[in-house]
Amino acid sequence: MPATALPPPQARLLLDSAALIANWQDFARAVGAATCGAAIKADGYGLGAREALLRLAAAGCRTFYVAHWQEVPALLPLPDGVTLSVLHGVTAGELPAALTLPARPVLVTPNQVALWRQTGRPCEAMVDSGMNRLGLAPAETAEVLAGMEVAVLHSHLACADNPAHPLNERQRACFAEVTARVPAGAYALANSAGIALGAAFHLDLVRPGIGLFGGGLMPDGRVSRTVARMQARIIQLRDVPAGDTVGYAAAFVATRPSRIATVALGYADGYARGLSGVGYADVAGVRCPAAGRISMDLSAFDVTDAPALAEGDWIDIPFPPETMASLSGRTSYELLVALGQRFERVWA
């Protein structure tokens, strides 16, 4: 018996290829002769890693990064000339898969280096220049990597989004001391925010991530172009008398006779609960505030002032990450990577 076709999702992400590419091109221009790669971990910061890779590769990006080996198969086959690397290195349990997949580990511990050394293959490696997270200790890096073919030697900035923080320069100087002793095909330090710190941080390769997908600032100080906006179907329209409440905890009280649209979108989809009462929909240019609590699967919007709507209509729900972060009390990183799998992702 043939499987019953599923109806289409009731919420979708409309994804702007031109904005994604323009963000990457701005980073690439800012770093001059340095190679501009792309971090597409966490499913392209929630927007779709495979589609992002294909679009960025077509625009000229050749160097991509994910966090885990489990992220690699969904990106295959890689376009010609593209390299893919795994930022968390490789463990003994991951080694069989790593030897069959077309990706390189970024080795982060001496044990990982020893494990990969047995393969005789090129690697990348991470130096911990001051974050105290992943990476080889600066003093041990030259000895640990001796005799290895290191395609790229990396470090990672802890405070790049605060240009005045003294740790930025301390990390740059620490990494410079290591690079003077450790031969590698390229040296990389800067993420999206690090690129704005200037040429001294660009080195040979940069790894923008969040800035490609609409979060954070571009090198010239502009907010990154928004890549994703939401649409959701109206499940029900309701006329609510003045004085009545809407949603959990009766958090919204109608101050006038109100028209309320309940849509198929909630915090299970990544529309954060922190947007309760402060998020908004856009109906033909009319801003329609969220009415009460965002629940798991549903959100309500006050569409009283909007043009006529009907059940089943789609409404736009803007999602500029930095604006939503400010409203919700979360970071743009959290908001983007929380976008759920119930969305239909539509690239244009």
Give the chain's radius of gyration (CA, Å): 23
Q: Is 113:107 a contact under the CB 8 Å cutoff?
A: yes
Catalytic residue ranges: 41, 248
CA torsion sign, 209 to 333 to 110 to 143? positive
Residues belonging to the chain: 348
Tokens of 126: 């991470």
3-state SS class at 260: strand
3-state SS class at 282: strand
Nearest to 276 by CA among 256, 244, 257, 250: 250
DSSP bridge pairs for 35: 205
Half-sphere exposure of 283 (CA within 13 A, CB side): 23
Nearest to 304 by CA among 242, 250, 247: 242
